[in-house]
Amino acid sequence: MLDKIIDFSLRNRLSVLIGALLLVISGIIVTTQMDIDIFPELTAPTVVIMTEASGMAPEEVEKLVTFPIETAVNGATSIRRVRSNSTMGFSIVFVEFDWGTDIYKARQTVAERLIQANEMLPDDIDRPVIAPQTSLLGEMMIIALESDTLNPIDLRTMADWIVAPRLLSVGGVAQVNIIGGEIKEYQILADPYRMNFHGVTMNELVNTCNAMNINTSGGFINQYGNKYIVRGIARTEKVSELANSVIKVSGGFPVRISDVATVKTGRAPAIGTASYRGRNAVLLTVTRQPDANTVVLSEKINEVIREIQENNVSSLIFHTDIYDQASFINTSVRNVMKALIEGGIFVVFILFFFLFNTRTTIISLLAMPLSLFVTIITLKALGYTINTMSLGGMAIAIGSLVDDAIIDVENIYKQLRKNVILPDGEKESPLNVVYRASSEVRTSIWNATLIIIITFVPLFFLGDLEGRMLRPLGISFIVSLFASLMVAVTVTPVLSSYLLTDERRLKKAVKGSWTERNLSRIYLKALQYTLGKSRILIGITSLVFVISMVLLTTTGSSFLPAFNEGALTVNISLPPGISLEESAKTGLEAQKILLGIPEVTSVSCKTGRAELAEHFFGENMSELDVPFILKERSREEFFADVRERLKALPGASIEVGQPITHRIDRMLSGTRANVAIKLFGDDINDLYRIANNIRTEISDITGIGDL
């Protein structure tokens, strides 16, 4: 088969070159259109159910809200895992489906099950809400909002009614969670003495409050050939008009709300606070849709922020330096691309050094871009993105891409030099020599390529998260290697027939280059020596193999290597029961400590939770996002310094990690940690006691950073 491909290529040389040129053009176009991301899409089809249960203790939330929802969704088709968290006033349930399940079908299934669950839920809670569709690494940007002129209530109002809706209008944004500031509410403070004086009961006051501030429809009137719509307009934002709402008529005089209560605007009870660099602020967390291009979406969001600032909202100050996933993506891809380019340059020097011929070097090197473009086109066709895994596969293959072409072009060049010194009657035509030389090595390059490809096939048998992570690496490596084989039996012979058949050049190169002659002489001596010492060589090889196996079995392993994301995620946990205000004070103190570290460029803090947010904490917990730039110290030294300085916080449990690493850990174990020990039981007090005992026993284990 390969012989036929070689023969076809040499008979249609111009067509092959045109095809290669079209491949390069197509590859460039596809490369510019490819989405860029950190990793492949790692999120199993997941539906998130959130329920606000204001005022309920965690135990009641679990029994009365979370458990009925879990019971309702359990048993649905293709569900592989149901996880939940219950905290004061809030329940969240994660329903994970099998890989490959259509997410819209999964959401429909959960919605149908929730109809059944609603009948079992208390009447005084909000109805369960299905969260927008997002991905594991969906939290792509954190924006801090400050103002020198607005008070906390007005700042939060601007975030709720101007900034967030504008961000949600950007295609690709799934959700904008807001925390911080003060939520505005209209407060009616009843006075029992005045209520008693006017004979107004609490039920009457509550019923009036529920019925007021509502617009109603009165139908329409046809008159004088016109149609008039009748409206009852009672909705208002003015406190004075709300206060004038009539409760009842007593003794011929109306009793208004202002007669029995004080009406004013105030702040709603806070369930979370936020700060930026130690100053009170509003934090907006932007979550993208699963298929959105993070880099492009980040640019659109920054453009929207500029538009908001330009459109008469100059009092708002935006800070986007806290966390921007696009920056990490660009840095990661840039680093891998740098490795690819450096590897390619290194290959160029090595090729030229050993071949010592410009034309053979160029022919061999052309296998690299052609193979890489084939790989990118294939990844695009299969729906993958350019990410660290797919680029990593290409980087691993970069040195092997030229192997087949080198073998082919070297044999062609060798046979052409032999042919040129033959008598005229014995010489073959250059095309015949090229065909014969390529055919001689076809089996060797086929077998060598196939053996390397087979070693990567097991990656395709990995399941779940591991398979989703590593499959693009295997695809890019195998496709690029197979493409290099095809280039070696098509483009390489054609280019050799054009560039290497000049008799004058061949006669000058009959003896070979200086490098070729000397390496052949050295290799011949080494081969003769080792053949005479075969037993010693086999013994040394066996010893090295045994040592390697011992080291392999004793070396630690991890799913992903530690990498520098350029940002820290610091979780601070205080004893349960502490107030939100006290917890926020600890968060402010932690920010001051972190800002004193040279590498830290900024810091933000979220204490408690935002309304209907998947990423939430109790009031005793704070999460700090800390961007940093490493300078003189290593990553490990910097992390150790952060942990050491934060030990100064009294009574706080500290966890230091990185945003993306934390989310992958949560996907693997359900918690934001490398190793999670889960306890199950009926008595929460017993579980706390056992957990503390376990903590004491394992705290001295070497290697534990946070516990």
Largest CA distance in the chain: 132
Residue 640 confidence class, pLDDT cut points 50, 70, 90: confident
pLDDT, one tens digit per residue, over 228-261 is 888 888 788 788 888 888 888 887 889 998 888 9
pLDDT at 515: 72
- Mean pLDDT over residues 499-525, rounded? 76
**CA within 13 Å, CB half, 277:** 12
Q: How confident is the model at residue 358 (pLDDT cuts 50, 70, 90)?
A: confident
Compute the distance between CA of residue 475 and CA of residue 685 in angstroms, rounded to an integer.
Answer: 51
pLDDT at residue number 136? 67
> Under DSSP, is residue 55 helix (H, G, I), strand (E, B) or coil?
coil
| pLDDT for 332 | 76
Report the chain's mean pLDDT, rounded to a whole number: 84
Q: Residue 707 pLDDT more than 70?
A: no
| 51 within 8 A of 69, measured Cβ to Cβ | yes
Whether the predicted pLDDT of 473 surpasses 80: yes
| Cα–Cα distance, 686 to 568 (Å, whole number) | 34
- The strand ranges marked E within 77-133 are 79-87, 90-97, 129-130
Ramachandran bin of 523, using left for φ above 0, alpha for ψ from -120 to 50, beta for the remaining angles: alpha
Average pLDDT of 323-343?
Answer: 80
Q: How far apart are CA 677 and CA 673, in angstroms?
A: 10
8 Å CB contact between 163 and 316: yes
Helix (H) or strand (E) holding 410, with range, is: helix 403-420
Q: pLDDT band for 559, please (50, 70, 90 cuts).
A: low
Query: What is the per-residue pLDDT for 378?
Result: 92
Burial 342-379, CB ≥16 within 10 A → b, else e: ebbeebbeebbebbebebbbebbbbbbbbbbbbbbbbb
Whether pLDDT at 669 is above 70 = no
Please report the domains of the chain, with CATH numbers, ordered by start residue.
Answer: 2-33+357-512 (1.20.1640.10), 44-133 (3.30.70.1430), 185-267 (3.30.2090.10), 567-698 (3.30.70.1430)
Higher pLDDT, 298 or 344: 298
Structure token pair of residue 646? 């934060």
pLDDT band at 512 (very low <50, low <70, confident <90, very high): low
How far apart, in Å, are the Cα atoms of 427 and each of 59, 440, 604? 93, 18, 78
**Does residue 561 register a pLDDT over 70?**
no
CA neighbor of 487 nearest in space, from 3, 6, 4, 155:
6
| CA dihedral for 176, 177, 181, 183, sign (positive or negative) | positive
Q: What is the pLDDT of residues 393-433, one digit of tens each?
A: 888 887 778 788 888 888 887 888 887 777 777 778 888 88
| Average pLDDT estimate for 634-643 | 87
Which uninterrupted H or E stretch holds 433? helix 430-456
- Percentage of the chain beyond pLDDT 70 is 96
pLDDT digits (tens, 9 = 90+) for 5-61: 888 888 888 998 999 999 999 999 998 888 888 778 777 788 889 998 887 888 888
Give dist(CA 698, CA 654) in Å, integer.
16
The residue among 135, 293, 77 whose CA lies nearest residue 660 is: 135
Q: Is 45 exposed, middle or buried (0-12, 13-18, 19+ CB in 10 A)?
A: buried
pLDDT at position 167 over 70: yes
State percent of the chain over pLDDT 90.
14
Mean local confidence (pLDDT), 318-344: 81
pLDDT tens digits, residue range 592-627? 999 999 989 999 999 988 876 777 777 888 999 999
Residue 441 scores a pLDDT above 80? yes
Stretch 212-221: mean pLDDT, rounded?
83
